[in-house]
Chain A
Amino acid sequence: MKRIVCFVFLCGAALAQVPDAQPQPGAAPAASQESSQGEKKPGGSSTFLGNDVPFFDPGSDIVQWNGKSWNINNNRIFEARFEKFLNAPEATTETDRAYNRILTQIMDKLAPNNISAKSTDEAFQLLPQASEFDIDARLCDAIANQVYAAWLAKRSNARLTAANQSLEKERQRLEWNSKMTAAGTSLGAPSSSDPAASEEWKKKQQLKRDMEMQPLVTRLAEVNALLKANQLKREVAELQVKIEFQALIVQHFLQRRFQHVVIGTRFYRSIFSDGDSLLRVGEDSKSLFSKTTGMPPTVGTLDSLANEAMRDVREGVQAFKFLLEKDELESATKRLAETFILGEYMPEVRTISRDDKRRALAFVQQSNQLISAIEVKDYALAEKLVKSLDVTAKDFDNSKPMAAIETARTVAAMHIAKAKNAAVSGDKSTLESELKSATEIWPRNPALAEVGGMIFSQADVQQRALVDFDQLLSQKNHRQIFDDKMRFIAATAMYPEKQEQLRKVLDDMATIEAAIIRAQEVEKRGDYAGAWESAETAFLQFPDDNKLNQVRANLTTKAPEFVRALKQAEEKERKGQLGSSLAWYLKAQRAYAASDFARQGIERVNAQLLPDAK
């Protein structure tokens, strides 16, 4: 089959599939492989039907044409046409059957073992009937017209022959007359005794003969010219009809209308029974025919190629149905595609059931979707499709797509991991570059969206945390900042100024917390005055901390006399009642001998009362 497909593509201008501007992914490896191997493109030097003849490589399903390559299984036009076929209902209607019946009858009547003048006429009469069907596309009409034209040419040749026969008779008559005229007559000749009169008479006779011969010779020349012209005309007319007929047959062959090719060749043979079946094509095409098919370019070649194609189509359809039964959809679809390329109009192809075609269609659609998914680097979808294809098609080879998917996933995961690290460490440039790399490898990676969301969420959280930090700082609510320190540490990581503010707050809070812990420890020993004094020391430095205030207030109730004495002492000291103040400090010291506040107060008041005290 591939030999025929190859030949069809070699001569494939009639199909006129426009190659993709960009080589398809499936085609690229083949093209690069060939160029890397330095092989000369087989079709590259040909000038048949254009500058570059399409070349089909059956080994890789790659067609090269006009410097471009594409895969026949991955071509937009072919895909569209193939999918249209796969979606079309089976051609099993009465009309379809009737059409096929007529074509079969025509071929039977023209078969070598049945052919006769009568069967030829009957076959000719069936052609218009066949052309009435849409599926025929008036191709049978074209054959009928060509046959009729050939017959007319034949009749014209007969008339020319008759004319030539008349002319031949005329030529013979003229030649006789000329001969007779040239022979002349001796009647009335002068006597030989008078040489002068005799000479004069001879001259007159010669002139008379010449005058009589002149129209005969002229006419003879004309008749001869007409004879030659008619002979040439007959030969040219026949050749022209032959060429036209051959062109029609070739056209049908290129259109893959193999039944019409067979009908055409059989009509051709019945009309032109002179044994001249050589195709009048150029040297290039002759060479292509002989190289591709191994046969000389004759009508018989086309006939045998068409018959072989029809057989291949039948086998292809059988193979498709068998593979479908075995759930080997990949092979089945490939065989069907090959068969479809060759025998799109063959009844065996057109009568494949729609259900079978739909199974192939589902595989084709998923395969195309897989190719598209890998092209756009949507590896999640690609993986899903591969799994689905694994289930539906037992012979589906998932190694290549899975290798691509796994590689992309691994590399993308590495970039994302680096991006996460960069995000944590605040390295914006690395974060951006790693995210960009990960996006280029797998744009629709779900993990990418997750990381992106996380980063955006982090940014949002960070901004909110910074606002909260500023607000709490303005409220001097250092306790809240301290309680939520992890959030603020993370938020201010990239803001050195705020980091410094936070550091000071946390240092202060560490001091407060230490004072509170110390106070609580002292309190546990029952030294309430000492515990209060510890809390009060921190309170004087950080009067806005609620927790410290609470601890201090609690301890105040547990050492009331000491606290009251100190407060009275301080108040009196402020009022300048130094004697009373000193008395209160002494009272406080009496209550808590180790009191630093009392000691310091006493020293302070003493210094005021006795400036020169030693």
Chain B
Amino acid sequence: MSKRLKLSKVIIYSVLGLLALITIYPFYTTIITSMTTQAAYMRNPLMLWPLDFNLDAYEYVFHNSNILTAFRNSLIVSVGGTFYSMILTVSAAYALSKTHVRGTRLMMYLVVITMFFSGGLIPTYLNIKNLGLYNSLWSLVLPGGISTFYMIIMKNAFMDIPKELEESAYIDGANDLVILFRVMLPLVKPTLACIVLFYAVDKWNEWYAAMLYIQDKLRQPLMYVLRTMVTKITGNPQAGLDAQMMEKAQTVYPVGIQKATILFTIVPIMLLYPFLQRYFLKGIMVGAVKG
């Protein structure tokens, strides 16, 4: 290899390596900070390894008796909600991709309007209450059934598939449902994976709706419980900590708690991502191509 090529490779790899380090370092710092003591952190906020290794922050997080219940609730909402949303999204997208059918254009206009206008917080709250969804996990699943944006991405993916494939399936005697499940969905796997990940992350991160609609502590999702925990340790101490956590609160510090909760919440999504990565990279460009 020529000297010039070697030098350029060195420069390229160095820059990329530096960028990779810059990207990874905040994540690494989060792990380190969550495993150290307050005194060590105050002495040296930037550490390469945990000084005074300590897992009190995680003990504080797991000391909350509701944490596993909240985790279960989040899992139910994420898995069940994603499944429900995908059924609705795929069905709506497939139907609306049939542009030759009368009324689809009007339907699209009506659907797009909902992207710009919504009922507002108060009507939504009253709607949830009157439908009997208050204080139920269904309030976190049903109202956000379809995201218009994701549905449009899905519709575009269906429209990109050549019509000839469908026609040949019709000729072979397949009906619409068979075509959807046997022909169309396998061809839009990247987009499907992408939308599944988007929905899963959205529902996993949901806390605001839980704050408004879930009264019962045993039905609160993980994000809301962790948010409450972090705001209690960093906010007004006069509001009082949960009795079980008061003991632990003496030995932990707010930054450590925040880092521990960040790690605890992103681990499930990080475990899911490698399986969807190859689809994600393909699917992320889909919505950008054409309208």
**Are A and B part of the same complex?**
no
